[in-house]
Every structure is written in structure tokens, then in C-alpha cells.
Amino acid sequence: MSLEEYHCWCSEVMKEFAERLRGVVSKMLVMLSLGLGLEEGKLEKELGGMEDLLLQMKINYYPKCPQPDLALGVEAHTDVSSLSFILHNMVPGLQVYKDSKWVTAKCVPDSMIVHIGDTLEILSNGTYKSILHRGLVNKEKVRISWAVFCEPPKEKIVLKPLPELVTDKTPPKFPPRTFAQHLQYKLFKKTQEDFVSPK
């Protein structure tokens, strides 16, 4: 197979993967909507619908590290996305923070790991929690992960707790902001006063 043929093959595989994953995203958002007591299409609609919801892939390569206790592959963080899908090469290293300790995610063959991200935490007014996680390096093996982030459009959607989930007992925990503003907030620690509030 020539390099050009390989690129064409990769493009076709990625296109099919994206189409199938997009279907999985819709099904998961239906389940998560119902879990909040909402209409099944509510979360997907609030995230931009089938047309505007974006899938972005990031490939992480972690070389072997002779002293893994002295290095960190990716520092602890939550994802800005609504959902994050992580594929792996069966080398452990993803850890999630649960019950005040770091827990290593199991590598299950032919599986994906799914995280809730900041966007769903905001829309659900904190009912769904964005997952704090980090990536570790391995002493004996190269670790590779393919992360696909499901994100709303940057400026078109205003992220805020859904009105159905806000009451006197559960006031809004998050101020309204666009996804672009949320990125700025996360990356540069800008405060609400730095933004012009969207309507």
C-alpha cells in the first residue's frame, strides 16, 4: 500500500468512526436527558443538535519513562466538552479522582472510556459531575490514547443550567457563558467580570 493509499484508507476509516460515534453520542444524550427527568432530545438540542455538535480528536503519545513516579503524562483536569470518549492501546495510565483518591481505569479490550465534561455539568446544574482525571506514563510500554471530545459550537450556544433544573432549593450554580467564554475561563482563569454576559 502506497502512502497516498494509506492516507485515503485512514480518511475512510475515520469518517466511518465519526459517523458511528455520532450515533452513540445521540443515544447517550437521550439516556442522560431522561436521567434528569427531561425530554429525551433536550440535552442534544441544548448542545447544538445534530448539525452543530462537534467531534474533535486528540491523540496523546506517552513514551516509556524510566522513572514514572517522577513524571506525569497529563496533569489533573476536567474536560471542557460535554462528553469525552477515550480509546487506548491497552496500556494503563488513565486515572480518575474518586472518593478522595486516584483510581486507575481498567483497560478492557474493545472498549471506550466515556467521561462527562464541564458542559454537561453546567447544563445539569451540577447533577452530572465533570470527571477529574489525569494521564500517567508507563515504565515498560508506550501508552497511546485517542480522545474524542464532543463539544457545542463556540459562540452559538449559551451554556447555563437548564431552567427545568433550577428551583429555590437548587439555584443556578454556574453563570451563563458561551463555550468560547468557558474555554477562556478554564485556560486563563478569567473571572465572570472579564466577560460580557451573553443574553
Q: Rounded to 5, what percent of the chain is helix, strand, coil?
A: 35, 25, 40
Output the nine-digit C-alpha cell for 4.
497516498
What type of residue sits at position 49? G
Output the nine-digit C-alpha cell for 52.
452543530
- Active-site residue numbers? 58, 77, 79, 133
In angstroms, rounded to a whole number, what is the distance separating the alpha carbons of residues 152 and 185? 16
Are 120 and 84 contacting, i.e. CB atoms less than 8 angstroms apart? Answer: no
Using alpha carbons, select from 132, 144, 136, 123 the residue that is nearest to residue 101.
132
